[in-house]
Amino acid sequence: MPAAISAPSTRRDRAWPFWPVVPLYPYGQRPTQRVEVVKDQVWAFDQFQGIFYVVVPIRMTVVRLEPEGLLVYSPVAPTAECIALVRELEDRHGPVKYIVMSTVTGIEHKVFVGPFARRFPQAQVYVTPNQWSFPLNLPLPWLGLPRDRTHILPADSAQAPFADQVDYAVLTPIDLGLGPFGETACFHRASRTLLVTDAIVAIPAEPPAIVQIDPFPLLFHARDSAADAIVDTPANRRKGWQRIALFAFYFRPSTLDVATTGEMFQAAKQAPVRSRQHYFGLYPFRWRPDWPQSFAALHNGGQLQVAPILKTLIFNRGPEEVLAWAKAVATWPFERIVPAHLEAPIVATPEQFLRAFDFLRADLALEHSKALPEADFELLQQIEGLLLSRGISRPRQTIALAEDGKKAEAKKPLP
């Protein structure tokens, strides 16, 4: 991947004053890096965010239109630094014409669309259908989207004003109980690039460039105890990143033990630094020696995969809809994928993309489940059980094969 580019910037250029709306680290400071994915055609804009120093990349993608103009997919925080990097592209390729709000559910993506659109008043905003908000389901203008230039993506992608250059497929909303999950995938024909939000990822073994701008979170999680000092080495950055990946995808992997409150406060007395940044020396994490094996299974050689959270809590609520969407996406002749998180670009074929959804197929689910340790899913399964018991979530659905092995139908098991 080409080198990342950052605009000459100060703290003021990276400032994001609206961080309290979604209070994620790094709060009021949001560095941005721009990477040219396909020369003069596709660019990725990376920032990072997280909770308790569990930081992962979040990404906006920009594609060039012909004869001029830009389409922006899934905006990130429009800091002065970020906007300056976009303006450089506008100077060379024309103005931002379209902004695509690609998700129904992901507040960490949706929160930036309105502020970003206000920086580009000539751009038309297209949103994925079936939008909702919690705790009140508010109209889109009340969520900050411009009233006079916000449109719902047409059901027929041929009706979109950019249809001659960009295709899209909208995932039929999956009813999760509290609200639906939905996502729009886009295909930029000229560059043969697929843009997705959360549906698919590839997990790098090395820490992404954007999270190395501020390596403290990596080094914080590289420690084995509160008594360990923060030491910046490539090995510690890698170690911290791989543990962060386990946190991000499992919340509590099986190879992690958590200290009791008493143990945590006792250990904090041995911490070499007890500043606010170091959480006053508190460090509850106790990693077992076999945690690298757990990461190796999750990494899976960097192959495409659906994140464990989506496997356990979301996509299995609407397997038929997800598979139909994945098959529609796989009809496009893309050569690379740019997701909104983690590795990008990912060199991949439509066949590889479709294979990542095999866990939804009854004839392949058992074989697919062996790829990841079942014990790592324990907390996710506990969360699923809690949501079901309180009527917040819908039960899983399975696709059962008919006797001829060809037809399939969705069946709901008992809660």
What homologous superfamily does CATH list for 19-202+305-358? Answer: Ribonuclease Z/Hydroxyacylglutathione hydrolase-like (3.60.15.10)
DSSP state of 2: P
Cα–Cα distance for residue pair 270/259, rounded to 1 Å: 15
What's residue 390's pLDDT?
Answer: 80
Condensed to tens digits (0 to 9), the pLDDT of residues 250-272 reads: 988 999 999 999 999 999 999 99
Question: How large is the angle between the packed helices 234-250 and 291-299, nearest 10 degrees?
Answer: 70
Nearest-angstrom CA–CA distance, 218 and 221: 6
Residue 81's pLDDT is 96
Q: How far apart are CA 24 and CA 230, in angstroms?
A: 22
Q: What own/partner pairs with CB < 8 Å and gap ≥ 24 does 70-73 have?
A: 70/94, 70/95, 70/96, 70/97, 70/98, 71/96, 71/97, 71/98, 71/99, 71/100, 71/162, 71/166, 71/188, 72/96, 72/98, 72/99, 72/100, 72/116, 72/120, 72/123, 73/100, 73/102, 73/186, 73/195
Amino acid at 64: R
Q: Categorize the per-residue pLDDT at 364 as very low, low, confident or very high, splitting at 50, 70 and 90.
A: low
Tell me the three state secondary structure of residue 46. strand
What DSSP string describes 202-239?
A: ---SSPPGGGGSS-HHHHHHH-SSTTS-----HHHHHH
Q: Is the pLDDT of residue 196 over 70?
A: yes
CA 313, 319, 322 angle in degrees (round to 5)?
95
User: What average pLDDT does range 189-207 have in this prediction?
Assistant: 97
Q: Tokens 């008594």 correspond to what residue?
A: 227
Please write down the HEC assignment for all residues of 332-358: CCCCEEECCECCCCEECCHHHHHHCCH
Taking residue 262's Cβ as centre, other Cβ atoms within 10 Å add up to: 8
This model's pTM is above 0.75: yes
Q: Residues 6 or more apart from 120 whose CB is under 8 A from it? A: 72, 86, 95, 96, 99
| pLDDT digit string, tens, across residues 212-238 | 999 999 999 999 999 999 999 999 999
Whole-angstrom distance, CA of residue 347 vs CA of residue 334: 9
Structure tokens at 92: 């060379």
Report the range of poorest mean pLDDT among 137-141, 331-335, 370-374: 370-374
Give per-residue pLDDT as tens, 54-82: 999 999 999 999 999 999 999 999 999 99
Mean pLDDT of 335-353: 97
Percent of the chain with pLDDT over 70: 93
Q: Where are the domains of the chain?
A: 19-202+305-358, 209-300
Q: What is the pLDDT of residues 9-54, one digit of tens each?
A: 789 999 999 999 999 999 999 999 999 999 999 999 999 999 999 9
The whole-number pLDDT of residue 414 equals 33
Give the Cα separation of 144 and 134 in Å (integer).
15
Between the two ends of the chain, the Cα-to-Cα distance in Å is 46
Mean pLDDT of 278-300: 94
Give the residue carrying structure tokens 């060379």.
92
Distance, in Å, from the CA atom of 92 to the CA atom of 87, rounded to the nearest integer, reads 9
Looking up tokens 């790829």 gives 371
- Residue 334 in this model has a pLDDT that exceeds 60: yes
Q: What is the pLDDT of residues 271-285, one digit of tens each?
A: 999 999 999 999 999
In what helix (H) or strand (E) does residue 54 lie, and over which residues does it extend?
strand 54-64
Contact 184, 102 (CB under 8 A): yes
Phi/psi of residue 192, nearest 5 degrees: 55, 50
- Report the alpha-carbon distance of residue 14 to residue 393 in Å, rounded: 38
DSSP 3-state of 90: helix
Q: What is the largest CA-CA distance in the chain?
A: 66
Q: Which amino acid is at 198?
A: D
Provide the percentage of residues in the chain whose pLDDT is more than 90: 75
Give the H or E element holding residue 130: none
DSSP secondary structure letter of residue 60: E
Contact 338, 345 (CB under 8 A): yes
The number of C-alpha atoms within 13 Å of 67 and in the hemisphere containing its C-beta is: 0
Judge whether residue 303 has pLDDT over 60: yes
